[in-house]
Amino acid sequence: MADRNEAPYGAINWELIGSWLELDPADDGPFWALNLMKYHEVARYRDGREGVSGRQADDAYAPFESLAAVGAAITFVGDVTEQPLGSPTWDRIAIVRYPTRAAFLAMQERSDFKKSHEHKEAGMEFTTILSCEPSDVVGTDGGDGQLVMVVDQGGDPVTSDDGVVATLDAEGIIIGDERTYRRATFLRTTEPVDALVTRAAAGGDAFVVLLNPFIDQLAASITDATD
């Protein structure tokens, strides 16, 4: 993808950011930022502090006040318990719903956000952040079965007989590498995960991850936005 500069944990897609800066406010609206996160084993603070893991540094980052100030909210956070497909191997998945793309850009300029960002820089080895909009909500948050996320580059959506919690169509990569993705599908399923892996792999470079969520309001956040 063109016009990328490096951040400590990934390449910023300035082409996408530039299109947001030129966006007419009347055409702006809610989007969901899907964060795929891989941590350093030991955080790398610029001041040399020691004894902090990458995960602990990310926990310290948690910019709740900055998000609330621009009308954004964390709608999902889950630890990866298993990843049978895709590289790198992610540690945690998080989703933030922003009221507008302008709100996302405004948050980057807040002093409280900049101050807390040192923890993300220290803890994150690599991250991919997708700007997404929902295309489908079938289920509800919680419920029976294993929660699985499939991120794919194309082909037919990966579904399950047990139902889809939500499908997020990717507008583009905010931060990442040269790979692009079409969608992220969240499923609760009782079927063998190997079957999902086979279907996901048919669509190109893909991720299949099993998740243990501790914030699980994705479907509700989409339903609330569309009511």
**What is this structure's pTM?**
0.93
Predicted pLDDT of residue 86: 95
DSSP string spanning 79-94?
Answer: EEEEEEE-SSPPSEEE
Question: What residues have CB less than 8 Å from 195, skipping those under 6 apart?
Answer: none
Residues facing 10 on adjacent strands: 7
Number of compact structural domains in the chain = 1
Query: If you average pLDDT over residues 57-73, what whole number do you get?
Result: 94
Q: Are the C-beta atoms of 176 and 112 separated by less than 8 Å? A: no
Predicted pLDDT of residue 62: 87
- Residue 127 pLDDT > 90: yes
Q: Tell which wins on pLDDT, 123 or 199.
A: 123
Q: Which residues constitute the domain of residue 142?
A: 4-226
pLDDT band at 148 (very low <50, low <70, confident <90, very high): very high
Q: What is the CATH number of the domain that holds 115?
A: 3.30.70.100
Predicted pLDDT of residue 31: 97
Q: What is the residue whose two structure tokens read 């702006």?
A: 28
Q: Tell which wins on pLDDT, 168 or 154.
A: 168
Q: What pLDDT, in 10s, does the model give residues 9-46?
A: 999 999 999 999 999 999 999 999 999 999 999 999 99
Mean pLDDT across the chain, nearest whole number?
91
DSSP string spanning 88-128?
Answer: SPPSEEEEEEES-HHHHHHHHT-HHHHHHHHHHHHHEEEEE
Cα–Cα distance measured from residue 130 to residue 46, given in angstroms and rounded to the nearest whole number? 27
